[in-house]
Amino acid sequence: MIDSHCHLADEQFAADLDAVIARARSAGLERAMVILEGGNAKEAEQAARVQTLWPEVRVAVGVHPHIAHQFAGRVPDTVAVVRQQLTTTPQARAVGEIGLDYHYDFSPRDVQRAVFHAQVRLAREQKLPIVVHTREADLDTLAILKAAGEGEVRGVLHCFTGTQALADAALDAGFYISFAGIITFPRAGALREVAQRVPRDRILAETDSPFLAPVPRRGTRNEPAWVAHVVEALAVLQGVAPSVMAERTAANFHALFGP
Ligand SMILES: [Zn+2]
Ligand SMILES: [Zn+2]
C-alpha cells in the first residue's frame, strides 16, 4: 500500500514524526510521496528527518498555487528554486504540487497560471511527472497542461474533486487520478461515481495528510497510515478486495513515479 500524496514535512508532524512514520509502516505502507514546498527551508529540513526515519519515501518539489504570489514579477525564479531543490534532493521523483486554485484565490490568477506553466515546462525538460492541484480551474488547468506539456508530460490530478468531464480529459491526456479522504465523506456521492469509473490502471490513493482525514477519523489530524480507509472506499466502489485495490494503486504509483 502506498500513500501517493502527503505532507510529512508539515510542521504539524514535527513533534511526533517518528511515531507517525512507525504507524504508517506497521499499517503496511511500502512508501509514501512526500510533497515539499519549493524554497521552504523549514520543510526541507524536516524532509531530511523523514528520509532518515523512512528511506523508502519519495519526494515531489513544487511551488503551490497558494504561494505563487511570492513569485509575482519574477516567475523564472520559480523554476530556478525548484530545479535547484530537485537536484539536491536524492529521492525527488516529481514536480509538484503545482496547479491552479480558483477556489481560494490566494494568489492572483495570472500569477498562478504563469507559475504553473513554468513548472510544467520544467518537468518536461527534466522528464519528470507532475503532481497537479486543481480546484475550480478545470479549463485553464487543461489548457496549460496541453500548451506547456505538449503531450510529453505525465502526472496525476491529486485529491480529485472535479467533474467526470475533467476526469475524462485528464485520462485522455494520459494522466492518473488520485483520490483522498473526501471519497469517504457522506456528501461525496458524485465524486464516488467518478471514482467508480476510473480505469483500474489509472487510479491512485492518497491522504493529503495532515489535511482531510477520512471517515472514521474525520476532523482530526490526518496521517499516512489512514490511506487504508481511502483504499478501502475505492475497493468497495470498484468491487474488489481492499488488498487488490492496495496492490492496484501501488502498481500505478510505480508506473508513474518509478521504483
Ligand atoms: Zn493540493
Ligand atoms: Zn497536498
Q: Would you write out the chain's pLDDT as a tens digit for each of its 259 residues?
A: 999 999 999 999 999 999 999 999 999 999 999 999 999 999 999 999 999 999 999 999 999 999 999 999 999 999 999 999 999 999 999 999 999 999 999 999 999 999 999 999 999 999 999 999 999 999 999 999 999 988 899 999 999 999 999 999 999 999 999 999 999 999 999 999 999 999 999 999 999 999 999 999 998 999 999 999 999 999 999 999 999 999 999 999 999 999 9
**Sheet architecture: strand order including 58-62:** 2-6, 31-37, 58-62, 92-101, 130-135, 155-157, 176-179, 203-205
Distance 113 CA to ligand 2 centre (A): 18
Distance 153 CA to ligand 2 centre (A): 20
Query: In this structure, which amino acid lies at residue 151?
Result: G
**pLDDT computed for residue 213 by the predictor:** 93
Ligand nearest to the CA of 104: 1
Residues 96 and 128: their CA atoms lie apart, in Å, by: 10
**pLDDT computed for residue 10 by the predictor:** 98
Distance 209 CA to ligand 2 centre (A): 7
- Picking from 156, 122, 126, the residue whose alpha carbon sits closest to that of residue 141 is 156
Ligand nearest to the CA of 101: 1
Distance 238 CA to ligand 2 centre (A): 24
CATH number of 2-257: 3.20.20.140
Buried b (16+ CB within 10 A) or exposed e, 57-89: bbbbbbbbbbbbebbeeebebbbebbbebbeeb
Distance 35 CA to ligand 1 centre (A): 9
Distance 59 CA to ligand 2 centre (A): 12
- Picking from 103, 176, 183, 92, the residue whose alpha carbon sits closest to that of residue 138 is 103
**pLDDT computed for residue 84 by the predictor:** 96
Q: CB 240: neighbour CB atoms within 10 A?
A: 15
Rg over CA atoms, the chain? 17
**pLDDT computed for residue 170 by the predictor:** 96
- Picking from 27, 13, 67, 12, the residue whose alpha carbon sits closest to that of residue 226 is 27
Name the one residue in this structure whose C-alpha cell is 480546484: 135
**pLDDT computed for residue 149 by the predictor:** 87
Q: Which three cell numbers stand for residue 197?
A: 469509473
